[in-house]
Structure 1
Amino acid sequence: MKIHQVKAKPSSYQKRRRLGRGISAGQGASCGKGMRGQKARSGAGPRPGFEGGQQPLYRRLPKLKYFPKVNSKEYMAVNVGHLATFESHAEVTPQTLQEAGIIHQIKAPVKILGDGELNVPLTVKAAAFSRSARAKIEAAGGRCEIEGQS
């Protein structure tokens, strides 16, 4: 058997609905669309989600609370307590965090969070810092630098 010889079973074919061809055809006169109204007219009907002038569901929902942000940024979180393992006056970057085994892969930008204590002055380069993390790093005598800026 060759590919051009493959055909569907004759029972799988369905006849096309012939609309408006008289009462005996089963779909005569109004073609099964009822009497009047927007959906009975020729051409496209109302668009999907249209609710006749009422505020549609897709416009109402984002106004409710607790919906996730549409373009939220995903960060890899590293706590200040993990940075205490570095030597004094070291420069901490995502690459050095990976080499130290604090993060396994650099999948997303790194954000430093304020959990833990830091007594060593460090220069930390990351995409973002929480307020408490920035305060703890600067209180220890270190600096916070946002990556891409100097």
Structure 2
Amino acid sequence: MQLNSIKPADGAKHAKRRVGRGIGSGLGKTAGRGHKGQKSRAGGYHKVGFEGGQMPLQRRLPKRGFKSQQLRFNAEVTLTDLEQLGLGEVDLLALKQAGLVGEMIKAVKVIQTGNITKAVKLNGVRASAGAKAAIEAVGGSVA
């Protein structure tokens, strides 16, 4: 094989469509744009989703649903989760290592769901009023 004999495989390359270059090309005169109308004219087109003046689909459909961006970085942990964790001191890193909250979480709040019997000290973790009362009732603390 010589460098000067290398060529692309058959059918790999094909000529670009040349529009508006005479009747023999098959794309002369109107150059595949048809006759008249907005789409036949230079610079004449419309935005994505335009339906000729009809109310567009994205405006006809009802608006529903909302996902708060705060949910992405904030998490909740229950008293039952703390009980099962079995640690004396709980902070954000301990909750991440235990798999109770995701790696992207920046703030955690303990909510009063379930019961707690062991004393737990919370560091850098918020707690609802009911959860705080339950934790302090068994000898724990919320810092």
In the superposition, the TM-score normalised over structure 2's length comes to 0.61
Number of residue equivalences = 133
Classify 1:82/1:18 alpha carbon distance in 2 versus 1 (closer, same or farther; 3 Å): closer
Q: Which residue of 1 aligns with 2:129?
A: 135
Q: Compute the RMSD of aligned alpha carbons.
A: 3.8
Q: Which residue of 2 aligns with 1:107?
A: 103
| Cα distance in 2 for residues equivalent to 1:135 and 1:59 | 44
Q: Give runs of ≥4 in structure 1 deviating > 4 Å.
A: 1-6, 58-61, 74-77, 142-145
* 1:39 and 1:45 in contact (8 A); partners too: yes
Identical columns (%): 31
Name stretches of at least 5 consecutive residues in structure 2 with no aligned partner: none
* 2:110 and 2:131 in contact (8 A); partners too: no
| Cα distance in 2 for residues equivalent to 1:21 and 1:102 | 70
2:114 counterpart of 1:116: yes
* 1:76 and 1:108 in contact (8 A); partners too: no
Classify 1:32/1:95 alpha carbon distance in 2 versus 1 (closer, same or farther; 3 Å): closer
